[in-house]
Amino acid sequence: MNIGLIDYGRGNLHSVDKALELLGANVELVADGDRFAAQDALVLPGVGAFGDAMRNLAERGLVEPIRAWVRAGKPFLGICLGYQLLFDESDESPNVSGLGLVRGRVVKFPPAVGKIPHMGWNNVTVSDAGRALFAPVSGEYFYHVHSYFPQPADISLAACWTEYEGVRFASGIVSGRLAAFQFHPEKSQANGLRLLGNFLRAN
């Protein structure tokens, strides 16, 4: 598969690139929407702040091409901040609109949570919506690093759940050929590679 790894100055590109190449994908860094047509699937990674990321996407003219790609039902994978950017808005950056491809908002862990960010390995519980992407994994550990998490308006989209300090959140979603995860599959060793491989085979 030809995979377009979206380069907008906010992604952990190297690790994602290497993981996808290990699975046999032909990966191209794309910073121009005109290159999307040459790809079989797109991957939106990301680290950093919601507002900065949206500004970078806008400055590079990538917002509308991404929206058009997803709305056309083409394969798309969001990772970490790339998951959060799919939503309408984030408490991290008030008055900054997200991509608006998934209804809902991104919220911060409440003050009662002892340690923020949520960092390290944590158990992921797979829902019915996520069975095909995770198979045969069902309730394994993946690597998380984040202080905010999305709250999808439609809970049926949740592919998996993670609990941290009493807060249970949707750590992944699936909607048609769109999949996105709060944790980092590319840093999650065998389980992460299996998840990425299942995404590639499904598309």
Task: Express each pLDDT in 60-91 by its tens digit.
Answer: 999 999 999 999 999 999 999 999 999 999 99
Q: Which of the following is catalytic: 118, 144, 146, 184?
A: 184
Within 10 Å of residue 107's Cβ, how many Cβ atoms?
16
Residue 116 has pLDDT above 90, yes or no: yes
Residue 11 has pLDDT above 90, yes or no: no
80, 89, 92, 160: which one is catalytic? Answer: 80
Catalytic residue flag (residue 146): no
- The answer to whether 101 and 77 have CB atoms below 8 angstroms apart is no
- Of the candidates 186, 201, 170, 187, the residue with the CA atom closest to the CA atom of residue 83: 170
Question: Euclidean distance between the first and final Cα of the chain, in Å?
Answer: 9
Q: Which two tokens stand for residue 156?
A: 């049926």
Q: What is the mean pLDDT of residues 161-178?
A: 97
pLDDT at 10: 77
What is the helix (H) or strand (E) element at residue 131, kind and residue range? helix 131-134
> Residue 38 burial (CB < 10 Å; 0-12/13-18/19+)?
exposed
- β-strands 76-79, 41-44 pairing: parallel
163 is catalytic: no
* Full domain range(s) for residue 23: 2-202
Written as six digits, the tokens of 142 are 């993946």
What is the band of 136 on the pLDDT scale with cuts at 50, 70, 90? confident
Rounded to whole angstroms, the Cα distance separating 181 from 107 reads: 15
Catalytic residue among 89, 92, 140, 186: 186
Number of domains in the chain: 1
In the annotation, is 160 catalytic?
no
Answer whether residue 137 shows pLDDT above 80: no
Residue 9's pLDDT band (cuts 50, 70, 90): confident
Q: What is the CATH number of the domain that holds 114?
A: 3.40.50.880
Query: For the residues 84-101, what does the mean pLDDT come to?
Result: 97
